[in-house]
Structure 1
Amino acid sequence: PFTAAAYLNASGISVVADYDCYYVRYRENRNNLTLTAAGLAHRVDGTRLCFETVARYLEPGPRRDQIMRRHVEWELCGPLRALLPRESERDARERFFPEFRHWARTYVTDALFQRLDAPDRLLIHLLRADRFDDVLTVARNAERDGRRGHLVDKGRVYWLHPFFRDHAAAVPDVCFDVTDRLPVRHHLESAGWQGGVLRLAGHAYIEDVDALDPATEIVLRKYRADRPEVRVPTTPCLPAHPLPGEERRYEMAGFTAEIDPATADDGAPLERGLWNVHLDVRAQGVSRTVRFGGHREGGEATHPARRRVSTPQGPVVVVPYFTPYGNLSLDVGEVAHPVDPPCQVLRALWRTRSTLLVGGRLTDEAVREGGTLRLRAEGGTGTVHEVPVRCEPGGSTTVFTARLPVGRLGTGRWTLTLVMDGPGEDAPCRTAVVPHLGRLAATRWLRFGCRPYYAKPVALGPARALGLDVAPIKVVTGVRRRLRR
């Protein structure tokens, strides 16, 4: 009750993760309560306190349901299945069942009920209905019934428990629906360019659903954009590699797909930006959507290079890349003038707490052509802040430095680039990404002499461009951190 109350009421929680700070040593006689509490008598009071603590500090709603779900699964349904059948029938009926029934009726909302796995939903339904004998039957046979198969019906998958559609049991189908819980197995076998088209090959299937009438689609969703998704059909085929033990059941789980960036968006080119690749895996009318690319072949088979693609609006460069979680994404960027960057960034450091210094060297071509170099910070709303760059000879090359007053930037995320105008009015503009070099730490400063702000460096996109998240520090949070130190 003490730690839980602290968690539920804290405005911030810090995690010590750079060394081990919790150690366990069992008693020599092994009489720890956690090892010897084999019956419900040792658990009921603690379980009751779990539920009451959460109810005391959280108002009804999604956050409370999220915490309650853990207790329903681990403190209610788990012990009920494992321990209730071990008790005498009298204790089970008169002492423990009323407590479990009270928790199910009081703390399991309808929204939480829908988020539980099917075996837990069945138990909660029976508890709410005050059906002690059926609860005991389900608990006693839980291990055996858990291995029963599934039925596909009208695009939904149901657990074939003995109570399923048994008129005498009278349990609604929702207690057995496992459609959204079935694992999706998928694998990216190859990815490569054929002209201006990205061709993907792999396999995907929903576990325990025969791959009959497959209609899997590639789904492209633009990162942090409120716009309709783009769907690309796939062509079913045999998997490139046999699936061990499942050849017949999932023999049509293979697929190929072609993503044409020039026409993928219902005949129009893909918009500029980052697109995440998903799979909508379909078979027998059952549909599950998952992120794609996390499971793939090694080597260069699934690492296509960037490709310049022609579109009616002009050329674009498409960069397939894998996120830190290993999933496939596409970076679609405009290339109005395919020119080389004018400079190379070698360092980025804090000159003062609120001034960022960016330095490097110009390319020989940029020195010959001339032009004006500027450091640009662009906000998420389109706001641009630019500062001039100082260039001077540095041995055999020309070096540059720029000082960006980060303290003058507004709240939000800012992307940094270096921009050089050409020597003529119609000359192309050259740009260079300021990279996230990994050594730049976050900084803090006082704005107007009293308001604390911070800037946190972040790496953006496959090019790992340097971005700055700028925001005020909550005064109360800052004071607490200082006191902890």
Structure 2
Amino acid sequence: MPVKVSVVVPVYNPGPYIEDCVASMLRQSLPPDEFEVIFVDDGSTDETPARLDALAAEHPHIHVVHQANSGWSGKPRNVGIDASEGEFVMFVDNDDYLGDEALERMYEYGVANKADVIVGKMAGKGRPVPVELFRRNHPHATVENAPLIDSLTPHKMVRRAFLDRTGLRFPEGRRRLEDHVFVTEAYLRADNVSVLGDYVCYYHVKRDDASNAGFQRFEPVGYFKNLREALDIVERYTEPGRLRDRLLRRWLRVEMVERMSGRRLLAMPDDYRRELFREMRAVILERFGPGVAPALRPGQRIVASLIRDDRHDDLVAYAQWEIGVSPKGTPSGVEWRDGALRVTFTTEYTSGGQPLTFPADGPKTPADSAPRDIDEAAAWLGADAVDGFEQATADLVLRDRASSASFFQPVELTRERVPAGDGRVRLVLHGTATVDPGTAAGGSPLDGGLWDTYLRVGLGGWHKECRLGPAPAHDRPTPPAGVVAGRVVLPYWTKNHHNFSLDVDRAGKALGLGRVTPEDAAVSADHRLSLALPLYVPDRTDVLVRLTDTASDRSLRQSGTLTPADGAGSLLEVGVERHGMKGGRLEVCLAPEADTPRFVALPLVLRVTRTGGVRVDRPAPPGLLRRLVRKVRRMLGAAPRRATSHGTTRGA
């Protein structure tokens, strides 16, 4: 078979952190004869070279190239490109890993859309990744119609013919931001870029020891020299004007303003912070024209202007004030409706734990001025927030606690200005989110696991996240677990902070089935069990019921149904198979129909009488079960142990 994708992995002393990467390559849904993996060992001195050689000996589609250390990732990636035979080349770092279907999905998406570059959805495990870029699939993305410029890491799939036609390669040598230079040029020269946003293709991982190259402190002079090379690419392939200014703004915003804001700024040693400040100011004065900074959000404009005006100490004071400003999201209702969770909430920004108030009318942030002091900065930001309140946003994001995969949920939003006295107002957002377990993961069902809810709140000069919660203790909504889209979904409040989360296909005791009693059940003359359960179902739902004979351990699976009952519960109906179980005790377990069903025990047993009837009973207490087992053993002839002077022996 022709090779569809060549995966290029530069490797340098990853130690055990390469194992997740390797495992993800072996799990790919794309057949092994349709892709290859090229590990380029850049002079590793640990045990990795031998590990990779053994891997290549076992798997024909895995190859290893050994070379002397080059100092950074550019040359290994270029060596991998030259050695590749695939129609596309995918770049992966040795401490990250791919989703199991990543190569197959990205390849098919790229071919269908004739893309030169495919950007797969990313999840950040301990490190930030773009969020807005992956709200939805974008088959024909450009730097003008999508926030592509927010994603400049190299973890993309690129058509090999495009690389050869353009001669595009990574800058080599010991340097920073080689990926910015490569990816920016790829975006600007590609005939088409496609963004795949409905499946997490790439997991960007922060090592436990924080030894990833991107987390190491860099030398400011060299770093900003390399940054200028990325700016050169923008200027080479764009004309002066709005688009160029918007692209250049990315480096001002991400590499300068965000580094010099909030906790990131305050965590730096003073001498290092001042050195960064000097280098950033030089780039701002040298490379960014008058059209770059004014389109930043108001708070970002303030930071940029303080750097430009050489006001380091005022920048620190602003950061100390700004870290106290954060959104708070309070859930007001959670209920099942039409097969989805309807989540209502309010959110607003706070300062010092109290609702933030804004001047009903005040001066907006000037496009190109720095505030005299913190009070003036706060007044500017407040006036901007009031003026732009009709454009304020609040998104509900579901985030998998294990993988950090994030998905936006649909939200209906209303806005309220609440008088706060003295000519000031609170700006409150009221939202209703719809979480459909069958489509919540980018159009697909939620995977099993714990999913936390976050609010992403955009107001005036801020765009920040907070957890949804806590709910007021006296009025906390507690909807039941639901069986929806083949999943068992439990809405719950976290133990310590009482934030809202979802448990998908993991909960047992917390499902509330322990409240079920034999009085909730009935068995008809034709041996059909009817049982009221505290489980929500949107409509008639097929389920599996497992009956286990406790005497023989023989189990039978039978098809049953859950139908909506009065209130939020449901009614289980299933025929009871009695063949071969006459006189036995049947434990009952329930599961949604699935390829690999997960059964949950119900707190009752069925007894098959000697006359063939069936009755419902409580399960025996654990101590009683042990006594019954001992009694059965005695009945079967297992004599009790007796003591002798020579020790304990089994009696005759």
TM-score of the superposition, structure 1-length normalised?
0.32
TM-score of the superposition, structure 2-length normalised?
0.25
